[in-house]
A and B are shown apart, each in its own frame.
Chain A
């Protein structure tokens, strides 16, 4: 059911592998290795005898919360890593890091894959229904970032009035705020790429949690942090299973002690994250859940009905169809050119065409999309034609998918064309037709009958592959599902949305498959009867 979600870890993988090569800035991301990695310098088990606790957090692009040290890529660092170490000491119990997709943390708790989730997880009413939050350990505000020299945007109000394109992380306080304000919002699942897109001019501004901005936006040339911070605040807290009350209590106490001893402040100061807002964590403000409830009231999805999300899905369906049709058009045209080059071109051209096919069949579409989206503008900047190579997400998706599928189409076309008997060429030649006329009027019309069934199958595959466009912010159907499903909807709504999304895909794909089979039967029958010369 969870089609879109499945892609995202891979997505970030590919991107990291690639982007690291092109933009030195991103080297800070380090090695995105998956799996367990024990927290370094764990304290000696002070006789507790209990198994280590499993701490779920997403270390991919997770700076400054938790990420791999660029200097020593096997080492996890971050202010939350430091905090966990301090908590280990307080509790006298080992805590092991378990790599977990940020958006799945709450599910992971419920499934029992992890014992606690601490990953810049904000207290929201929706999450509170499913987990037990500890006392807050950080008070965050939102900060707007724009480009140097961009004078028009100096506040969130400017974004609203000028309908600026604002990027942020999906399913966060910032994304909910932007949605409420009806600002054109671009949702990302990486903390790095919004700043990249901002620098490249695809966005007018970025709105994110202060810690992220401090880490990723501060040192990036060409960007300007907008002061003052956006008013209102949110709280990071550690999430536990509801029935783990005892464990949660221990953590509450431990956090309180860290706060009182000044240890927490020391950690934040190390990372440059301490600010006046953190004073709120101290008594007598009686921080805690009541406070959190009072001040953070993001829109709850309770009472979400079919009618409220279905229009969103339908809009995504339309975009998916557009994406598929245009990509296929690109694939057909380029595929035919490549096939003709391979069949009839002079040798160097044949070789080039073969290289094209092998190259584009060999690399994952996802990597290609990342290359076109992030790599080309970066390369372009070097040569001074960055504007020409900076395509919109939609255009990038059409080209990326089109170029990739062209390789498959080319092979289908080549096989089909060369399967037309030589006698057809000779018969046409003996009538005085030129090779071009023969190709156009005799060979191609016959080849199309062979091409169409497998090509239709490819079309359906392409249709489903458009979900990859979600990774470069194109909100097609899968991405829309992903966004809806991680928006804190309850299980009933989740199942509903999932089923509706699947049905929409099937509604489009099944008739195509049927059409493909019909064509195959009809044309195949006709052709076989001819006895194939």
Chain B
């Protein structure tokens, strides 16, 4: 049973407290959308889960791997990252590698696949995000939407059990967002566990199983999208949603 369990997570940075005791469980196959104003700690939450940044108190469990406060030992970090793929707002593709090699690099170096096996897997994944015809293109030759889909394929190539998406459509023009979001919708159908930090309320309503509103390092509300969006319990959530929805 693969789930992500977060208990009493506290993260401080330079005298500021970014996360103030987060309690959250993401179940296997669930898609959780995280909404919140900028600076609310959404990205930091993802980075803590993926061991990209250490935290100060609490505990995170990813499958059977447990992260504790303080510097994460390298082997533990690598184990966590093997289970979780991550997609970034600014794509972070490797600009010196063709699309296919961006996807094949991880399997080759980390999973120990041969070059042929890795490229074979890369082609399949590019197909899955609808980009098999762009396999030989360099990142600089791809549109924003295409770049982000390559980045998703790159994360999937490690065969993760979960996927962390950090505002992956924020850097895209509106007409390109749908192509990335529809890829996520497909992945949900395949049963991938996902934590999606986003500003796309429409996407959250249609695709997410649950919606989590984060503000000032605290969870204000968690629940089914319908319920949270239409009957928010607190005034702060109402205010935030009013701003986002208009």
Contact = CB atoms under 8 A, between A and B. Distances in A.
Interface of A: 421, 423-424, 426-434, 437, 441-442, 445-446, 449, 526-527, 529-530, 533
A142 to B, nearest CB: 64
Given A445-B96, A526-B95, A526-B140, A432 B90 contact: no
A430 B78 contact: no
Given A429-B52, A432-B81, A432-B110, A527 B88 contact: no
Given A431-B154, A530-B139, A426 B109 contact: no
B43 to A, nearest CB: 11
A430 B81 contact: yes
A428 B74 CA distance: 14
A431 to B, nearest CB: 4
B88 A427 contact: yes
B52 A430 contact: yes
Contacts of A433: 105-106, 109-110
Contacts of B86: 427, 430
Given A423-B92, A429-B52, A441 B105 contact: yes
9 tightest A-B CB contacts, nearest first: A427-B92, A431-B106, A529-B140, A430-B86, A432-B110, A423-B92, A530-B95, A530-B140, A445-B96
A446 B140 CA distance: 13
Nearest to B141: A529
B215 interface: no
A432 B77 CA distance: 8
Given A426-B52, A431-B110, A446-B95, 10 more contacts: A423-B90, A426-B92, A429-B52, A431-B81, A433-B106, A446-B94, A446-B96, A527-B140, A530-B139, A533-B92
Contacts of A446: 94-96
Contacts of A429: 52, 77, 81
B91 A533 contact: yes
B50 interface: yes
Contacts of B151: 427
A95 to B, nearest CB: 71
Contacts of B106: 431-433
A427 B158 CA distance: 13
Interface of B: 50, 52, 74, 77-78, 81-82, 84-86, 88, 90-96, 105-106, 109-110, 138-141, 151, 154-155, 158
Nearest to B84: A430
A462 B133 CA distance: 46
Contacts of A430: 50, 52, 81, 84-86, 155
17 contacts: A424-B94, A428-B94, A429-B52, A429-B81, A430-B85, A430-B155, A431-B106, A431-B158, A432-B110, A437-B109, A437-B110, A442-B94, A526-B140, A527-B140, A530-B93, A530-B139, A533-B92
Contact of A424 (B74, B84, B92): B92
A527 B78 contact: no
Contacts of A434: 74, 78
A73 B154 CA distance: 75
Given A441-B109, A449-B96, A432 B91 contact: no
Nearest to B53: A426
Contacts of B78: 432, 434
Contacts of B91: 533
A445 B101 CA distance: 13
Contacts of A432: 78, 81-82, 106, 110, 158
Contact of A426 (B74, B88, B141): B88
A526 B151 CA distance: 19
Contacts of B95: 446, 526-527, 530
A126 B218 CA distance: 95
Contacts of B84: 430
Nearest to A525: B140
Nearest to A445: B96
B219 to A, nearest CB: 24
A295 to B, nearest CB: 72
A398 B88 CA distance: 47
Nearest to A426: B52
B121 to A, nearest CB: 13
A429 B53 CA distance: 11
Nearest to B81: A432
A433 B82 CA distance: 10
A396 B148 CA distance: 53
Contacts of A426: 52, 88, 92
Contacts of A441: 105, 109
Contacts of A437: 109-110
Nearest to B139: A530
Contacts of B81: 429-432
Nearest to B140: A529
A449 B138 CA distance: 15
B94 to A, nearest CB: 6
Nearest to B164: A430
A430 B162 CA distance: 12
Contacts of B154: 431
A446 B138 CA distance: 13
Nearest to A438: B109
B245 to A, nearest CB: 31
Contacts of A431: 81, 105-106, 110, 154-155, 158
A430 to B, nearest CB: 4
